[in-house]
Chains A and B, each alone.
Chain A
Amino acid sequence: DAGVIQSPRHEVTEMGQEVTLRCKPISGHDYLFWYRQTMMRGLELLIYFNNNVPIDDSGMPEDRFSAKMPNASFSTLKIQPSEPRDSAVYFCASSYGQPSVYEQYFGPGTRLTVT
C-alpha cells in the first residue's frame, strides 16, 4: 500500500482565496482524521470521520473550515476564505478500528502558506 496520500504537498495562496486539501486514506481503513500543526500550537485534531460520516468536528476552528468524505477513498478539507493565520501544515491520517486502540497512519502533510 502507498500509505496515506495527500495533495498538494505545498500550497501558497493569497488571503481570501479558497483552498482545498485532498486526502486518500489507506485502503480498508474506516477512520480518517484531519490535523493541523503549527510551531505555536503543535498538532491539533480538526475533525475525524468513521465510515465516511463526520463524528467529531469540535476542533474545526471556525465556519471558514469544512471537510467532506464523499466515499471511503477520498476526503477534502476546504478553507474559504483563507487567512494568513491558517498557514500551517495540514495532516491527514487514517486507521482501521477504534482510534483509541489502533494505530493512526499519517500522510506526508500539506504545507499551506497564506499571504
Chain B
Amino acid sequence: KNQVEQSPQSLIILEGKNCTLQCNYTVSPFSNLRWYKQDTGRGPVSLTIMTFSENTKSNGRYTATLDADTKQSSLHITASQLSDSASYICVVSGLAGNQFYFGTGTSLTVIP
C-alpha cells in the first residue's frame, strides 16, 4: 500500500532556531516529492518539488532533501521566524503522475 508518513506530528521551537521535518514514503514507482506550507485557514502553498534524481532543493530558508533509496525526505528550516508557524505537508506522486499520496502533515509552532 502506498503511504506517506510524516514526523513529528507537531513541533514547537523558539524563534531563530533550526528544525527538521521528516517524510517517509512507500510509494513505488515514484515520480516526485513536494513539500507544501499551509497557514491556518488558507490553502497549501508549494515550497519545493523534487524528482527522484534530485537530492536537494532550496527555497530561501527552506531546504528539502531526498534519498530515493531509503525513501526518505526531510525539510530543514533555518533561522525560524514566527511566520513559519504552519502545517507542512509532504506529497508524493506516483510514476503515472496522476496519483498523489499525502502525508497528514507536521504542525510547526514558532514561539518568540
Contacts and interface: CB of A to CB of B under 8 A. Distances in A.
B97 A42 contact: no
B104 A42 contact: yes
B42 to A, nearest CB: 6
A34 interface: no
A98 B97 contact: yes
Interface string B45-83: 110010000000000000000000000000000000000
Contacts of B103: 42
Interface residues of B, number: 20
Q: Which of A43, A44, A45, A93 has the most CB of B within 10 A?
A: A43
B5 to A, nearest CB: 11
A93 B91 CA distance: 14
B89 A99 contact: no
A108 B42 contact: yes
Contacts of B31: 100
Contacts of B44: 43, 91, 106
A14 interface: no
Q: Which of A45, A99, A100, A108 has the most CB of B within 10 A?
A: A100
A108 B91 CA distance: 19
Interface string B75-109: 00000000000000101010011101011110000
B24 interface: no
Given A56-B98, A99-B98, A42 B43 contact: no
Given A98-B97, A100-B97, A101-B32, A43 B43 contact: no
Interface of A: 4, 41-45, 48, 55-56, 91, 93, 98-101, 103-104, 106-109
Interface of B: 31-32, 41-46, 49, 89, 91, 93, 96-98, 100, 102-105
